[in-house]
Amino acid sequence: MISPNPSGGAVLRPLDVLRTDDVNSVITLFGHYLSEEFERTKEWPDGTPVGATLFTTVMEVEGDVIGFASVDVALNAVELVYVAPAYRRRGIASAVLGEWRRQCPRALCAKAPVSPTGRRLMDSLGIPEAPRSAEDLTEIERAHTEAYAYVAAQCGHKRGHPGRPCKRCCQKHLERASVSAVMMYVNAVRAGKLALT
């Protein structure tokens, strides 16, 4: 049977860093991802929508970007998939992964750790979880320690400690982190310092 909405009603296309709308949407959605993940795990979230070795797809419904997904093309590993809550359970994320699989003959895997929702999605598509390399884990650990130390130094609420600062300030810093992570990449591409993946 052919589904009338093979992509859950979404248009899938590459992120266009020259489009302000695209960039702003990804910043907002990435901010929501960070906030949701931090609430869920109480840990600094991993994964990024954009990067030098990442290819980024955006999902659009009626002209609005409602999700993004990034894949590390060097490792053929899913980096991060995010769909806004109102658009989940329509098969949009599966459609993106299916599209990537069609475009690349190499077997797709997903970078660990995968969220419980992501795990169900990957399992349904038979995409295995790939452990992070030792270098990746060291880098993640370093980034977490640095972020926590920064937040602890800024916090005026006298809660938490340097290794686990106050939640309110973590959330505030995550909002800023979503802007800086995306804009650092966008500005580098726009300045011609980074080639598009």
Q: Min. distance of Cβ 169 from Zn ion in angstroms? A: 3
Q: Which is nearer to Zn ion, 78 or 169 (CB)?
A: 169
* Residue found under tokens 């070795």: 53
Q: Min. distance of Cβ 42 from Zn ion in angstroms? A: 15
Task: Decide the pairing of beta strands 129-130 and 109-111.
Answer: parallel
CA distance 123 to 131: 16
Contacts of 93 (CB under 8 A, 6+ apart): 67, 69, 81, 83, 121
Q: How many Cβ atoms are within 10 Å of 10's Cβ, its own excluded? A: 25
DSSP class per residue in 108-173:
PEEESPPPHHHHHHHHHHTPPEEPPPHHHHHHHHHHHHHHHHHHHHH--S--EETTEE-HHHHHHH
Q: Which is nearer to Zn ion, 19 or 157 (CB)?
A: 157
Element (H, E) at 77: strand 77-83
The footprint of Zn ion on residues 2-31 (CB under 5 A) is none
Question: Can you tell me which of 152, 155, 174, 181 binds Zn ion, judged by CB under 5 A?
Answer: 155
Q: Min. distance of Cβ 44 from Zn ion in angstroms? A: 15
**How would you classify residue 88: left for phi > 0, otherwise alpha for psi between -120 and 50, otherwise beta?**
beta
Number of residues that bind Zn ion (CB under 5 A): 5
CA angle 154, 149, 133 (to 5 degrees): 145
Q: Min. distance of Cβ 167 from Zn ion in angstroms? A: 8
Q: Which is nearer to Zn ion, 111 or 173 (CB)?
A: 173
Q: Which is nearer to Zn ion, 110 or 169 (CB)?
A: 169
Q: Min. distance of Cβ 27 from Zn ion in angstroms? A: 23
Q: Per-residue x/- marks for Zn ion, 156-195, CB under 5 A? A: -x--------x-xx--------------------------
Q: Which is nearer to Zn ion, 161 or 193 (CB)?
A: 161
Q: Min. distance of Cβ 150 from Zn ion in angstroms? A: 12
Q: Which is nearer to Zn ion, 155 or 186 (CB)?
A: 155
Site residues for Zn ion per CB under 5 A: 155, 157, 166, 168-169
